[in-house]
């Protein structure tokens, strides 16, 4: 992962504002940022407290939300990537913030283990929902052919996002058109964001079990 992280971090060249997604793969890249000769001139916008703490630990300069429209490049992971390079994200619960950064960024870099690359999606889609709308959204998702379950913590308490919302992990028999499904789900009142990401990234890093990696560029 160190070689991959170093290769990914070099793509910051020429950027001024950097978006940071969430998860362990992004944490590796953030640590590599400590070695950038120009790190003092960069501003970073993290999506989660976990990544913010990693960035602060190595003295990266944290920017406020007003800099989001100016993001030059964003680094993030993925839970699954299908054959058309659509993604499912949100396993860590930061899908709303991640989608905001990805939609704003001029360039998107995705890093994932090779096991995350699949022909078609076969896992649940995280859906961030306002707590007041949980029952309504659950009913609507059932009408749309989905089987949803409230994400909970180990002791049974509901998982609450950093935005104060809950997540319904929802399984569909198939998703032949992710962009259409994303729009359909977002039309439900109370749905804040959907873990279907249909913007194609500029680079996908595929990390292999033997420590090597492949960079797929568009």
pLDDT tens figures, 185-194: 999 999 999 9
Q: Is 187 helix (H, G, I), strand (E, B) or coil?
A: coil
Q: Which of 32, 54, 98, 182 is catalytic?
A: 98
CATH of 2-118+198-217, one of 3.40.50.1360, 3.40.605.10, 3.40.50.800, 3.10.520.10: 3.40.50.1360
Q: What are the tens digits of pLDDT across the range 57-115?
A: 999 999 999 999 999 999 999 999 999 999 999 999 999 999 999 999 999 999 999 99
Residue 98 appears among annotated catalytic residues: yes
State the DSSP code for 65. G
Cβ proximity of 87 and 81 under 8 Å: yes
**Burial status of residue 113 (CB atoms within 10 A of its CB: 0-12, 13-18, 19 or more):** middle
Q: For 35-50, what is the mean pLDDT?
A: 92
Q: What are 144-178's pLDDT values in tens digits?
A: 999 999 999 999 999 999 999 999 999 999 999 99
Name the nearest CA neighbour of 214 among 15, 22, 3. 3
- Domain borders along the chain are 2-118+198-217, 125-195
Residue written as token pair 């899908």? 95
- Residue 68, classified by CB atoms within 10 Å of its CB into exposed (0-12), middle (13-18) or buried (19+), is middle
Domain 125-195, classified CATH 1.10.10.1100, yes or no: no
């Amino acid at each position: 992962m160190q070689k991959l992280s170093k290769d990914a971090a070099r793509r910051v060249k020429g950027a001024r504002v950097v978006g940071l997604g969430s998860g362990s793969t992004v944490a590796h890249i953030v640590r590599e940022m400590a070695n950038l000769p120009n790190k003092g001139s960069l501003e970073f916008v993290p999506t989660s407290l976990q990544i913010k703490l990693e960035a602060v630990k190595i003295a990266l300069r944290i920017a406020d939300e007003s800099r989001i429209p100016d993001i030059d490049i964003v680094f993030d992971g993925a839970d699954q990537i299908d054959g058309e390079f659509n993604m499912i994200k949100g396993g860590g619960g930061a899908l709303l913030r991640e989608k905001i950064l990805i939609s704003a960024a001029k360039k998107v870099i995705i890093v994932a283990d090779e096991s995350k690359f699949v022909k078609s999606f076969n896992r649940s889609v995280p859906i961030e929902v306002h707590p007041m709308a949980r029952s309504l959204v659950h009913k609507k998702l059932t009408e749309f052919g989905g089987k949803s379950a409230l994400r909970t913590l180990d002791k049974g308490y509901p998982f609450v996002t950093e935005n104060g919302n809950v997540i319904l992990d929802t399984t569909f028999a198939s998703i032949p058109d992710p962009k259409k499904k994303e729009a359909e789900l977002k039309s439900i009142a109370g749905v804040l964001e959907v873990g279907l990401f249909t913007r194609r990234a500029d680079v996908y890093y595929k990390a292999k079990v033997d420590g090597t990696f492949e960079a797929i560029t568009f």
